[in-house]
Structure 1
Amino acid sequence: MDTGHSNPWTIPAKSRPSHQESRSSSVDLAASPGNSSPLQLLCDMFPLVDIQTIKRVFARSGQNPSVCAEMLLSLQPLSDDGSYNNFAAGIVASTSDAHQTGSDPFLHLPVDSVKIIARFLTLFDLAVFGCVNRECKRLAEKELSAVTVLNNAGGLRQASDEKILKMLARFPNLTSVSLYKCCGFRCFSLLPVALRGANITSLNLAFCENIADVDVRVLLVGFPSLQHLDLSGTSITDEALETISVMAAETLRRLILSMVKSISDFGINFIHTRCTALQQLDLRGTHISPGALEISPNGARLTALYMSACKRVSRIVLLQDFSMLKTLVLSSNLNMLEATLSLPHLNLLNMSSSKQLSRLSLDAPELIIMNLSGCSGLLHAGFTPSALQRINLYNCRSLSSASIASLILANREFLRDIDIRGCPQLMDTDAVLFAQQCPIIQRFDVTGCKSLSAHAISQVNRAIASSLERSRLLEERPPSR
């Protein structure tokens, strides 16, 4: 703070107009008693704003001081010299009694102190902080121009459309923006203007309830480089999907449509057959069936597909036409009975909590992680993976010991984590054999396997401890020269 002697970093007082200089000589405040009138108080709160401007805003507010103050605290610049009128309300309130009327509490702070303050502010507070004075404005603009990803929209969810747009405009170099759960937002057509549309490659509008099909068209025109689009939980229809398949066919790489209940197989077929650049498709919680994923020579080549909790998934067949898939999530499909998967490059498979699944045929030589937990009805399983590192068979109550043995022993050189809790058909000899045959195993959980004896569980634990000790010694061994 100001210590009373010269400081080369102190902002000179002449860099900003004084409270008295900002007023017009023709102002008449006699209509209100003393200095306690609402207009006088507003002048004291906003010394940088010309009195005529305050009077006009005061009149527009219906002479309501609180409404007028809120309007003056908007993000709109009001002065020609680039100064903003958005004083931090909390700072003004806490310092109005401690400082002389018309003084700027930040005026005597060294620049280094201002920078320290800025480090502790969120991006949204920093944007507001830039409205305090010129030095804060320069600092905020420098910091905000370096921001390219704005994914925390929590501070905007209850704001008006105007305030959201003005806040977004403060970030000139954004490439990724999230308006997640900004449920009241409606001015989607103005987003490309506020966000300088050509720069945006990722847009999250999940649970923006007011977005319509026509808005999707406007956004695609305004964001020609869009690669990632999240429309989860919205009310768009197949019309919007057809628009996407035409206007973003060569640019869109990731499309998230989870919990969108008003789309059908017809719309998804447009996406899958036309969007040649599409790599990731999220259909969780929709009414889509696997039949919507019709293969087209010029269609999508998906690397990740998410179809969890889709009630229309009963049987699924994914063969060589989906050869590029690396991630497949089919969890919580309560009506799924059978799955046939031949996916040469698949790395992750999650079919957990699909309780009715009874038959699984899996040909995935590069599979690393497999989660079948909660598939309590699984009876027949044919596996060919040979590089698995993590297996979760928790509560696979119907899976035979022979099926478990063939899976574990085929991958024993790579397995690090095995979870076979609650598998009642696992025998003592098999459990001990599995633990001893996996040289780098780090976790082997057999909790709830009631058929196992205490002696077998003890042998399993000793085998795991021995494996962990070998791994520790290998890590501590100095590299050979």
Structure 2
Amino acid sequence: MEKEEAEIDRLPIHLLAYIFGLITSFTDLAQASSVCRKWTEGVKQSLAQRNSLSFAGWKMDDDSTARLVRLAYNLRELDISRSRWGCQITDIGLYQISLTNCIGNLTSISLWGMARITDRGVVKLISRANSLQHLNIGGTFITDESLFAIADSCPHLKTIVLWGCRHVAEIGLRNLVNKCRKLESINVWGTRIPVDCFIDLLNISPALQIKPSEALLNDGSAAVLPVA
């Protein structure tokens, strides 16, 4: 006797894709995609329809992250911040993501706390992210090399978080503000930038919001920025 088809298997692909789109667990999606060809196609279509992906809280590696981003070709927002389990993403992963079809359409990227990445990976990623408006690279060890790449590749940048980026310097910040004329907000808490540099940034762009309003000096003492 022929086995009766399960109710869910009678659903058309677009409805399967909708259902899979409600799943937030990437482990569950991976398992679903291995059930059968129809489910594999449903998972692919669900990813293709997503405008936002967040891997925060998930233990992801370079290959699995890049594979999912590659399928999400309508992506606009990408969050691959460090998870509580420890970030496994390296410069190799950022390079793989830089080759995906969606990279030029991304308006928001968060690399928060990704201690295993360097300027090499960030520069590769940013070089093709020409639509980027919001970038969070706080808690990383990037230097002015990344800031120069951002300044050259991201003319639409509006906000950037450099929280705790203690290896960036005045020259990188000045170049960034000079070239990214749409920049509205910059978070420099925990950096080693002297207050004089922040005053220069405000002279370049008077409307720029520098967060926090009390910038930290190299010795850790607080200095209040002048009020216009």
TM-score bracket, shorter-length normalisation: 0.7 to 0.9
Paired residues of 2:215 and 2:225 also in contact (CA < 8 A): no
Structure 1 residues 119 and 281: CA distance shift in structure 2, 3 A = closer
Paired residues of 2:195 and 2:215 also in contact (CA < 8 A): no
SS in 2 for 1:222: coil
SS in 2 for 1:285: coil
Point out which structure has higher relative CO (alpha carbons under 8 A, 6+ apart). Answer: 2
Which residue of structure 2 aligns with residue 341 of structure 1? Answer: 227
1:30-109 equivalences under 5 Å are 109=8
In the alignment, structure 1 segments of 5+ residues that lack a partner are: 11-106, 315-332, 343-481
Deviations 1:233-284 (A, max 9, x none): 1111122222322332x22211110011112223222222332121111112
SS in 2 for 1:177: strand
1:293-442 equivalences under 5 Å are 293=198, 294-295=200-201, 299-300=204-205, 302-307=207-212, 310-312=215-217, 335-336=222-223, 340-342=226-228
Which residue of structure 1 aligns with residue 66 of structure 2? Answer: 165
Q: Does 1:111 align with 2:10?
A: yes
Which residue of structure 1 aligns with residue 33 of structure 2? Answer: 130
SS in 2 for 1:163: helix
Name the larger-Rg structure: 1
Cα separation, 2, equivalents of 1:131 and 1:179: 24
Instruction: Give the partner amino acid of 1:253.
Output: K
SS in 1 for 2:50: coil
SS in 2 for 1:150: strand
Q: Decide which of 210, 223, 226 is 2:116's aligned counterpart.
A: 210
Q: Decide which of 131, 139, 149 is 2:52's aligned counterpart.
A: 149
In the alignment, structure 2 segments of 5+ residues that lack a partner are: none
Structure 1 residues 109 and 163: CA distance shift in structure 2, 3 A = same
Structure 1 residues 229 and 119: CA distance shift in structure 2, 3 A = closer
Cα separation, 2, equivalents of 1:340 and 1:109: 63
Which residue of structure 1 aligns with residue 152 of structure 2? Answer: 246
How far is the alpha carbon of 1:340 from its aligned partner? 4.3
Q: Decide which of 109, 133, 137 is 1:227's aligned counterpart.
A: 133
Instruction: Give the partner amino acid of 1:335.
Output: A
Cα separation, 1, equivalents of 2:226 and 2:128: 42
Paired residues of 1:202 and 1:227 also in contact (CA < 8 A): yes
Paired residues of 1:264 and 1:287 also in contact (CA < 8 A): yes
Paired residues of 2:47 and 2:72 also in contact (CA < 8 A): yes
Paired residues of 1:207 and 1:231 also in contact (CA < 8 A): yes
TM-score by length of 1: 0.40
How far is the alpha carbon of 1:120 from its aligned partner? 6.0
Structure 1 residues 214 and 184: CA distance shift in structure 2, 3 A = same
Which residue of structure 1 aligns with residue 191 of structure 2? Answer: 286
Which residue of structure 2 aligns with residue 140 of structure 1? Answer: 43
TM-score by length of 2: 0.78
SS in 2 for 1:223: coil
